[in-house]
Amino acid sequence: MSWMNSVGSTAGPTIDIDSALDLLAASVQLRGDDFVYQPVWMEESRYLTCRYAIRGIPDCIVGQALALAGVDIHELEAMPDDGVRDLYLRGELPVALTLGALAVFDAAQQRQDRGRNWGDALAHATAAAVKFLDLLPDAILAGQASGPAGEDRWRRRVS
pLDDT score recorded for residue 13: 76
**Is residue 103 within 8 Å of residue 132, measured between CB atoms?**
yes
Q: What is the pLDDT of residues 85-112, one digit of tens each?
A: 999 999 999 999 999 999 999 999 999 9
Q: What is the pLDDT of residues 40-98, one digit of tens each?
A: 776 666 666 778 999 999 999 999 999 999 999 999 999 988 899 999 999 999 999 99
Domain ranges of the chain: 14-158
Mean pLDDT is lowest, of 10-19, 32-41, 102-111, for 10-19
Region 20-35: mean pLDDT is 97
**Sign of dihedral through CA atoms 1, 151, 104, 88?**
positive
Amino acid at 6: S
List beta partners, residue 58. Answer: 53
More confident residue, 16 or 150: 16
**Is residue 93 within 8 Å of residue 8, measured between CB atoms?**
no
CB-based contacts of 69: which residues, under 8 Å, 6+ apart? Answer: 3, 4, 13, 15, 19, 23, 95
Kind and range of the H or E run holding 48: strand 47-49
* Cα 117 to chain centroid, rounded: 15
Report the alpha-carbon distance of residue 135 to residue 26 in Å, rounded. Answer: 26
**Sign of dihedral through CA atoms 113, 119, 124, 126?**
positive
55 φψ region: left (φ > 0), alpha (ψ -120 to 50), beta (else):
left
Tell which residue, 25, 11, 8, has the closest CA to residue 94: 11
